[in-house]
Amino acid sequence: MAGTVGLGIIGCGQIAPAHIRNSQDDPRVRWVAACDVRPEAVEQRADEFGIPHRYTAVEDLLADPEVDAVIVATGPEAHVGPAVAAFEAGRHVLVEKPVAVNAGQVEAMMAAQREGLVGACCSARFRSTPGARAATELIASGELGPVRRLSADVLLPPPANYDGTSPFFLHRPGWGGQGILADWGCYDLDFLLGIAGWAHDPELVLAAMGGVPARYRAIAEPVNDVEVGVAAQARMTGGAALDYRRATFAAVDAQRGAWRIECEHGALDLDLMPGSPQAVVHRYAADGVHSETLVDEPYEWPIIHRGPVIDFVEAILEGRAPMTGLRHALVLQRLTDAMYESARTGTAVVCGG
């Protein structure tokens, strides 16, 4: 049907309903197929949302002529196979975050991506909000001058009534052997680098990570002994620096978060989460610093789930690049890989193409 995109979802687990529910009211979106290796999962999701075609094999879904594009919503360890197969079958691909478990897998997706096919990643989710869009436009205008520093500092308290099953990456098998950096780092880093116009790539990275604190290990040892905290610094191209920290099991009684972009002529304070204000600009002036709220009102959660799907569909129909294409996702993955390597080796890691 002209002006619409037939979508198929590969992976009918926890995140699938968020993709479908928050986009199905758009007249350009047609949810036509669902696929999962578990027949009961396919039937449940398809019945829930009235999806007509149901498959348990990716190749069968990709043979469906009504499927123009797919969303790969499996676990990250299983992203690369369906994504490569979909590109080879001539379908557009939106990959759930994190895009992969290493940069080599992203490169494999890019190698399979034919000219004219859209490849995108859901790590752009939090740039779908009014605050992020206003900040992106301001940076792009050049008013604040070159970006000098990007930072995110996010601390979360330990989960209540800890029993070893939360956060999920402490116990879920096959999640790539990665923790909070893979789960939330892709959001934080996409948020900052995307708002800054994808103008800065990592050159040198130094990072440290920590696992579940001893107090909580005494209650329950994690099945997956992965990082729950990361602190990193990076020298970026274009004369910018990155300072990054995110930790759960932090010694705080409530979540704290600050995302900031500092420029030659001022700075932006941002909130990735649905807080208020969402975006505040600070401009240097002869008599000091003048601050202005760009966006005050918090967003509603459906926006961030709707955003990547609608952006993907629009990119297909308009022949434009998505918010986070696979080239950008590769930058994020290389930066993530470098952080893991630096934490493992205790040395700074050169990060490049």
Domain boundaries, the chain: 5-117, 128-299+333-350
d(C-alpha 129, C-alpha 139), whole Å: 16
Report residue 281 as tokens. 């600009």
Which pLDDT does position 1 carry in this prediction?
66
Kindly report the CATH class assigned to 128-299+333-350: alpha beta
Query: How high is the mean pLDDT of the chain?
Result: 96
Pick the CATH number of 5-117 from 3.40.50.720, 3.30.70.270, 3.50.50.60, 1.10.3720.10: 3.40.50.720
Residue type, 207: A
Which pLDDT does position 271 carry in this prediction?
98
Report residue 214 as tokens. 């001893």
Per-residue pLDDT tens digits of the chain, which is 353 residues long: 679 999 999 999 999 999 999 999 999 999 999 999 999 999 999 999 999 999 999 999 999 999 999 999 999 999 999 999 999 999 999 999 999 999 999 999 999 999 999 999 999 999 999 999 999 999 999 999 999 999 999 999 999 999 988 998 998 776 668 999 999 999 999 999 999 999 999 999 999 999 999 999 999 999 899 999 999 999 999 999 999 999 999 999 999 999 999 999 999 999 999 999 999 999 999 999 999 999 999 999 999 999 999 999 999 999 999 999 999 999 999 999 999 999 999 999 998 75
Q: Tell which residue, 20, 21, 6, 16, has the closest CA to residue 36.
A: 16
User: What confidence tens digit (pLDDT) does each residue in 160-188 have?
Assistant: 999 988 998 998 776 668 999 999 999 99
Q: Tell which residue, 125, 121, 230, has the closest CA to residue 179.
A: 230
Handedness of CA 312, 190, 121, 324 (dihedral sign): positive
Which pLDDT does position 171 carry in this prediction?
85
Report residue 344 as tokens. 């493992």
State yes or no: cis peptide before 157, omega within 30 of 0.
no
Q: Would you tell me how many other CB atoms lie within 10 Å of the CB of residue 167?
A: 19
d(C-alpha 283, C-alpha 233), whole Å: 25
Q: What ranges in 156-260 are assigned the alpha helix state H?
A: 180, 186-195, 214-217
Which pLDDT does position 172 carry in this prediction?
79
d(C-alpha 341, C-alpha 146), whole Å: 29
Q: What ranges in the chain are assigned the alpha helix state H?
A: 16-21, 39-49, 58-62, 80-88, 103-112, 130-141, 180, 186-195, 214-217, 302-318, 326-345
- 8 A C-beta contact, residue 239 and residue 201: no
d(C-alpha 86, C-alpha 100), whole Å: 16
- 8 A C-beta contact, residue 242 and residue 148: no
H-run or E-run covering 278: none
Q: Tell which residue, 242, 248, 276, has the closest CA to residue 260.
A: 242
d(C-alpha 193, C-alpha 22), whole Å: 25
Q: Is 227 left (phi over 0), alpha (psi -120 to 50) or beta?
A: beta
Which pLDDT does position 313 carry in this prediction?
98
- 8 A C-beta contact, residue 185 and residue 336: yes
d(C-alpha 154, C-alpha 250), whole Å: 9
Report residue 203 as tokens. 């050159």
Residue 155 to residues 166, 231, 339: CA-CA distances in angstroms? Answer: 16, 11, 18
d(C-alpha 170, C-alpha 180), whole Å: 10
Whole-model pTM over 0.85: yes
Q: Tell which residue, 206, 231, 229, has the closest CA to residue 216.
A: 229
